[in-house]
Amino acid sequence: MSTNAEILCVGTEILLGNITNTNATYLSQELSALGFNVYHHTVVGDNPARLAEAVEQALSRSDLVITTGGLGPTYDDLTKQTVANALGLEMELHQDILDDLRARWERRGQIMPENNAQQAWFPKGCRIIPNDWGTAPSCAIEKDGRTVVMLPGPPREMKGIWSTYVAPWLAERQDCVFVSRYCRVINIGESALENRLRTLLETSTNPTIAPYAGNGECMLRVTARAATREEAFALTEPVVELIRKECGDDLYTVDKDSMQQVVVELLKELGLTVATCESLTGGLVAGRITDIPGSSDVFECGFVTYSDRIKHSQVGVPEETLRQHTAVSLETAAAMAEGTLARSGASLALSTTGVAGPDDLPHAEVGTVYSAVAGPLGTRAVKLPMIHSRDRAYNRTMAASKALDLLRRYLLEMKQQQG
């Protein structure tokens, strides 16, 4: 079944440009993967008349309407009431939800402000969808062949509710299933990747292949449609193999979420631990590794060594190395990794040093980054392949990704030697 869907986002902060509507991007990707045609995105503010107009228009032309925002406890959170009006439904109180809300406040030793009670009122006959990520439960209504799903605005809550409750429910109603595979690539730019895979991108219809780029990485989503999950998965396999062949080692994962997840799993598999020593990334590499649950088994410790003095005193970079080569050099990166290895007791150590920007240093241009791994195979120090930018946050994020990639390649080599 191919159904028309539309996305209606409610929030004055989007219309003012204070936040970017990434909810619409996420929901569009998800709806496409489930086989829905998304023909409209609309954003309106927290204004009763314009919200009502937008809801009525969406219901007049789409089978499925997904809203985000306007479910909170404040006077300008109007989505549920407005949808109920448009569908001719009354609102009713769910006492169990109200009790639960009050209990949450009490556990924190506070009394619930009365305006929060509106979070327990819902259109009559709706399906309540739990919110395990925040206070406002979501809901879905089916009426006269139309379905409206109302989700909260904060992306973390919205995505949690969507992927746990809404997507499986909608997938059941479709008469085919979609399986998406995610091929994550580092060190190949988006247009270079598109050129290499042009024929595949232009001719493949099932699965479809969609490229995405962001933070100096690329991702290819391969989506197949079939009667069962197994058949759809089988359809993706030859295409994933082609991408694997074309990208080689630069394809760092299929189906896993991130570089840090790949690295943590490789460390676990090999029974190794890692320590980090960061200059320009300032803790981001350690932060990404420890973002993975269970990383405490493989993460030994981290140093953030910003100044030359601290590079010497905390991880033992020789003063001579710093004087002769400066802090932004292959030699310093190598000495940082080796000193960290010696002092931490970890099996491996990873270092970063470079110029985050926005300004150049006297002896090194912004975006110059060195990284090293020290471990059982000896020390590997490299100049990271950065894309030129003066954006500090971008340079730091990209340097952290590429340093983690250096560690991944080192671990793959160890794995090969063991196997």
> What is the footprint of its own copies within residues 97-126 (CB under 8 A)?
104, 107-108, 110, 113, 115-116
Q: Residue 307 interacts with its own copies (CB under 8 A)?
A: yes
Q: Residue 401 interacts with its own copies (CB under 8 A)?
A: no
Secondary structure class of 313 (helix, strand, coil): helix
What is the residue whose two structure tokens read 């020789």? Answer: 318
Instruction: Supply the minimum distance, in Å, between the C-beta of residue 19 and its own copies.
Output: 8
Q: Which of residues 331-390 bind its own copies (CB under 8 A)?
A: 343-345, 357-359, 387-390
Q: Residue 167 interacts with its own copies (CB under 8 A)?
A: no
> Strand locations in 164-268, DSSP E?
177-186, 208-214, 217-226, 251-254
Judged by beta carbon, residue 143 or residue 343, the one nearer its own copies is 343
Backbone Cα Rg of the chain: 26
Instruction: Supply the minimum distance, in Å, between the C-beta of residue 287 and its own copies.
Output: 4
Which residues, in sequence order, are bridge partners of residue 371?
352, 382
Q: Which of residues 128-157 bind its own copies (CB under 8 A)?
A: 132-133, 154, 156
Please calculate the CA angle 120-140-167 and round it to the nearest 5 degrees. Answer: 125
Report whether the peptide linkage leading into residue 113 is cis, meaning its omega lies within 30 degrees of zero: no
Q: Residue 316 interacts with its own copies (CB under 8 A)?
A: no
Q: Which of residues 228-287 bind its own copies (CB under 8 A)?
A: 276, 278, 281-287
Instruction: Confirm if 334 and 374 have CB atoms less than 8 A apart.
Output: yes
Q: Residue 302 interacts with its own copies (CB under 8 A)?
A: yes
How many residues line the site for its own copies (CB under 8 A)? 102
The alpha-helical segments, DSSP class H, found in 39-197 are 48-61, 79-86, 95-107, 155-161, 167-173, 190-196
> How many CA atoms lie within 13 Å of 277's alpha carbon, on the beta-carbon side?
36
Judged by beta carbon, residue 3 or residue 25, the one nearer its own copies is 25
Judged by beta carbon, residue 113 or residue 130, the one nearer its own copies is 113
Q: Which of residues 5-34 bind its own copies (CB under 8 A)?
A: 12-22, 24-32
Distance CA 60, CA 144 (A): 11
Q: Which of residues 281-300 bind its own copies (CB under 8 A)?
A: 281-287, 289-291, 293, 295-296, 299-300
Residue type, 371: S
Instruction: Supply the minimum distance, in Å, between the C-beta of residue 256 and its own copies.
Output: 16
Query: Which one of 192, 227, 234, 377 is in contact with its own copies (CB under 8 A)?
Result: 192
